[in-house]
Structure 1
Amino acid sequence: MRYENKRWHREGSVFMMENKTVDLSGLRYLHSGVDTVKQLYNCLIRPDVLQDLQTAYEGSDQFFTVGGIDWLITRSSKASGYQFILKNLDIGFVVLLKSFYAEADLSASHLKIEVTPQTISEYSPEALTAEIDRIAALFCVQLVHAGVSVHIATDVKGLVIPSDFEARLVAKAKRQYKFNSISNAQIALNETAVIYGSGQSYTFGSAGALQFCVYDKTAEAIKSDKIGFWEGVWGKVPRADFDGDFSEGNPISEYEQGDTVHRIEARFHHSVINQFSWGTKDAEGRSVSIKNYSDLVPHLTALWQYALNNFRLQHSTSYIDPLWQSLIEDVQYFCPSPDLLYKRAHKPPSECSRRNVAFWLGNQIKLYSRGRFKPEYVVSRLLESGLQADLAHYFNVKLYGESEALYSVLLEFVKDKMQTHLLSGVAA
């Protein structure tokens, strides 16, 4: 079924379309911001720090001190990719150190630093980036920003999730999680995978890509003992009918204790952020650089709108739901995004990847030669591999607008190589 994303005519909170009117004046946005930041580095581990950490862990010490900061030591599983987890949630940082997949004396992705919502709220983006770098320098040298992942969220009062929400939500990634009771709690720096209530909370997509969640934030905050912090955040929004100067601390706020607040959250894995970095061009045609939190902030509103389009609540096959239109048009993170055409792209081929393409192509052609396949069939299979961009780069052919050129060049190459294999006995 083909879905369109037409928008309703609106006047304030009232949305109108043909003979239907929807009034969303009961909705109040209490918070829109960054919930989690995870910064990755390529680096060298400080040998003395790693030695002291291993000694402390093997000696069953619970705590480790570096740079005058105490850390709680946990040995991690291989699933995390890192051997050690060092926590200090009092200052709001978790450090994942020493990759399972690289030697300690080699420069590699040995470090990831995660930041709690409380700490994020205390810093400007530039100051937080500098503080993350300062923490990183305690553990490693030759630090290079390798990527950043982020969770962005909007908290809404007055949201009633429709009973057919799941059926009307059109998602490219249709991996969904839905529970009808409080049955599972996994809280790690507010990376919430908790599903509360009868059909009131949903998670779509993969944690390793783009994940989209709608859930009862008040219930989760009570469960994780963070309700005091979030009530302080929500309490800063004045009531819709309040005309006074709220900055003077007048207690008339939109949020009242006991209100239900739902969170709508988009979680971007660092690999997705990197794809936007490679695929999005500035006015001069250069790829935008998004390697740390400060780089990312100007693009958050555009990423939010991308997530809402990727997981889109439809009113019908033609029109998006008024709620979704409001989330797209009314929610903004820090500042409007630059006027850029945002698109995801795979990492551009390098000289290293050219060698990999050469090895792969050579092995494929040799195997097809042994099977006595026709060159035209071999070319069709190679072009269905998903590596057309790499092949185009390898043969120095423009892929878009000149698709026949790649086919012709590849066919000539395959014919030559297959004949060589057959006549030299390699394919025997």
Structure 2
Amino acid sequence: MKQLDRYELSDDQSTTFQSEKGLLFVHPKFGKVADLYEDNFQIVGTYVDTLRQLFKGQMNLDFLTDCEHSIECGEKVFQFLGLDWLIGKSSKASGYQFRLQNNQLGVIIFFKLFHSRAEATSSHLKIECSPWFLDNRSPKKVDEFLSKIADKVLRCPEAYYPAIHLAVDVQGWKPDNDLSERMLCRSRRVAQYNGMDKTEFHMSEISSVYDRSQSFKFGAAGAVQLAIYNKTIQARTVDKFDYMEHKWDESTKLKDGSSGYDPEQDVFRVELRFHHSVIQQFALGTCNTETGEIGVKMNTYSDVINHIQALWKYGLKSFKLKYNSNYIDPIWTILQDDIVFKFPESSYTDNLHYKRYYKKATSFSGKNYQLYLGNFLSACARKSEPFKKVLIELQGSMIWGDIALHYEKNNTTENQLIERLKDSYQQRILMGYTI
């Protein structure tokens, strides 16, 4: 399929000229097809979103026995590498029997395959790393930490081909309702769901129909999979919007200190997910053009990160969004030709993601605030405490400022909120909470 001609605006925006990076797309016969300048299109980030590292080896039976004993004793927390982890049995869908999870760190450890003996050499360990774990460490540091885990969990561990998700976040574009009809892909598997499909980290796996737009997923999970979805809505839904907004803001920092990210526009994500088997095929089938050698080393995150630009282009070959039967869609031209995944090591010395971000009360859905206030009033009503004392306790809490900001955003002043709380408290008293 052919690409539409691209034109760029002059500095004074009075004329256009043909350019490989232009955002004005023109059909040779019918004229303008899309003006992404008018839509304020921009790329607000290119990210490694998720890493799932496999390790082969035999289970360390001492470690396995300790974990089994903790679970049998009903313990929920397990000490490992000097950190606290939630411990439990894993679902059969994961392929592993047990799980250690620390979402604050951003790591989940799956170990002991269901269908393989502990003494047998197999892929007994899978470590899933979240975006926030990867953002704060260089690839080398990531590999070192994962190796520490493997050394404790397995005997004679060997890093095996990881799975990886590459994401491009854009503003000024959103998928049309007919996107699935216009998408050409090798796989026939196309999914549009009415519900949420989230990962253990509640960050990546999503294929849903929202109020204002759709999310799409193409391809099988065991191959190259493409996901397109509203990242702004998804991040708000799982209460990770502040984290993502911080990334978009920092990723688009300009020389004058301002940011290219527009908080008034939704961000859509185009994400390619590469299964372990795809990384293996890519590694074994790649040719070194200088030496003629077939095959490249891609067993660890540091190995894979050297090839993410090539992986992105490789993954896009499995999918093609057509504008019509002869031309590909403008957004696909941009994804194929304009996207550059930079090698993270070169930018980690001044990595802006090291800066701490703070969650804002205004970005929160408020459901937990409502539950907190309701439960607090009910508990105090049972003790027949006077409302004045109840209010003093509430206003002295560390989150009262956030609560007031949340309600102010929803057109309720602090005084109005207090009056509502007073009425609600009185209702609880009259309903017999004190009896």
TM-score by length of 2: 0.70
The aligned residue for residue 425 of structure 2 is none
How far the C-alpha of 1:125 sits from its partner, in A, is: 1.8
**Mapped contact 1:9–1:17 kept (Cα < 8 A):** no
Q: 1:169 aligns with which of 176, 183, 189?
A: 183
How far the C-alpha of 1:270 sits from its partner, in A, is: 0.4
The aligned residue for residue 193 of structure 1 is 206
After the TM superposition, which residues 25-104 of structure 1 pair with which residues of structure 2 at under 5 Å, given as runs?
25=37, 26-104=40-118
Unaligned runs of 5+ in 2: 8-18, 345-435
Q: 2:327 aligns with which of 312, 319, 322?
A: 319
Structure 2 distance, partners of 1:305, 1:232, is 27
How far the C-alpha of 1:78 sits from its partner, in A, is: 2.1
Further displaced range: 5-14 or 152-161? 5-14
> What secondary structure does 2:64 align onto?
helix
The aligned residue for residue 8 of structure 1 is 5
Structure 2 distance, partners of 1:163, 1:194, is 14
The aligned residue for residue 295 of structure 2 is 287
* Amino acid in structure 1 at the alignment position of 2:26: M
Structure 2 distance, partners of 1:208, 1:193, is 16
* Amino acid in structure 2 at the alignment position of 1:30: V
- Provide Cα deviations, 1:63-83, integer angstroms capped at 9, x if missing partner: 111221211012012221111
- Provide Cα deviations, 1:117-163, integer angstroms capped at 9, x if missing partner: 00111112222122221222222231111210001101111112223
How far the C-alpha of 1:85 sits from its partner, in A, is: 0.9
Structure 2 distance, partners of 1:135, 1:100, is 20
> What secondary structure does 1:271 align onto?
helix
Structure 1 distance, partners of 2:300, 2:210, is 36
**Mapped contact 1:43–1:107 kept (Cα < 8 A):** yes
How far the C-alpha of 1:57 sits from its partner, in A, is: 0.4
The aligned residue for residue 276 of structure 2 is 270
- Provide Cα deviations, 1:175-198, integer angstroms capped at 9, x if missing partner: 11113x5x3342323231241425
Structure 1 distance, partners of 2:185, 2:252, is 35
Q: Using a 3 Å threshold, how does the CA distance of structure 1 residues 334 and 58 change in structure 2: closer, same or farther? A: same
Further displaced range: 32-41 or 166-175? 166-175
Structure 2 distance, partners of 1:264, 1:225, is 20
Structure 1 distance, partners of 2:311, 2:250, is 25
Q: 2:261 aligns with which of 251, 255, 260?
A: 255
- Provide Cα deviations, 1:314-364, integer angstroms capped at 9, x if missing partner: 12222211111111111111249xxxxxxxxxxxxxxxxxxxxxxxxxxxx
Kindly indicate whether residue 152 of structure 2 is the aligned counterpart of residue 152 of structure 1: no
How far the C-alpha of 1:290 sits from its partner, in A, is: 1.3
Q: Using a 3 Å threshold, how does the CA distance of structure 1 residues 29 and 276 change in structure 2: closer, same or farther? A: same
How far the C-alpha of 1:258 sits from its partner, in A, is: 4.5
**Mapped contact 1:8–1:322 kept (Cα < 8 A):** no
Structure 1 distance, partners of 2:340, 2:189, is 27
- Provide Cα deviations, 1:270-298, integer angstroms capped at 9, x if missing partner: 01111111211213232112111111112
Kindly indicate whether residue 226 of structure 2 is the aligned counterpart of residue 229 of structure 1: no
How far the C-alpha of 1:237 sits from its partner, in A, is: 4.4
- Provide Cα deviations, 1:20-52, integer angstroms capped at 9, x if missing partner: 233222211111010000000101222221111
**Mapped contact 2:4–2:25 kept (Cα < 8 A):** no
Structure 2 distance, partners of 1:16, 1:5, is 12
Kindly indicate whether residue 120 of structure 2 is the aligned counterpart of residue 120 of structure 1: no
> What secondary structure does 1:228 align onto?
helix
Q: Using a 3 Å threshold, how does the CA distance of structure 1 residues 5 and 56 change in structure 2: closer, same or farther? A: farther
Kindly indicate whether residue 312 of structure 2 is the aligned counterpart of residue 300 of structure 1: no
Structure 1 distance, partners of 2:311, 2:146, is 22
**Mapped contact 1:211–1:266 kept (Cα < 8 A):** yes
**Mapped contact 2:51–2:164 kept (Cα < 8 A):** yes
Structure 2 distance, partners of 1:233, 1:269, is 25
How far the C-alpha of 1:208 sits from its partner, in A, is: 1.4
Unaligned runs of 5+ in 1: 337-428
Q: Using a 3 Å threshold, how does the CA distance of structure 1 residues 102 and 174 change in structure 2: closer, same or farther? A: same
**Mapped contact 1:196–1:216 kept (Cα < 8 A):** no
Structure 2 distance, partners of 1:237, 1:117, is 14
RMSD between superposed Cα atoms in Å: 2.0
Structure 1 distance, partners of 2:141, 2:238, is 27
* Amino acid in structure 1 at the alignment position of 2:220: S
Structure 2 distance, partners of 1:203, 1:172, is 13
> What secondary structure does 2:176 align onto?
coil
**Mapped contact 1:196–1:215 kept (Cα < 8 A):** no
How far the C-alpha of 1:300 sits from its partner, in A, is: 1.2
Structure 1 distance, partners of 2:222, 2:247, is 29
How far the C-alpha of 1:238 sits from its partner, in A, is: 4.4
* Amino acid in structure 2 at the alignment position of 1:140: L
Question: What is the total number of aligned residue pairs between the two structures?
Answer: 323
* Amino acid in structure 2 at the alignment position of 1:59: C
- Provide Cα deviations, 1:196-228, integer angstroms capped at 9, x if missing partner: 425521011111111101001111111111111
Q: Using a 3 Å threshold, how does the CA distance of structure 1 residues 102 and 193 change in structure 2: closer, same or farther? A: same
> What secondary structure does 1:255 align onto?
coil
- Provide Cα deviations, 1:257-279, integer angstroms capped at 9, x if missing partner: 44311110011100111111121
Structure 1 distance, partners of 2:276, 2:36, is 34
The aligned residue for residue 388 of structure 2 is none
Structure 2 distance, partners of 1:237, 1:280, is 31
The aligned residue for residue 430 of structure 2 is none
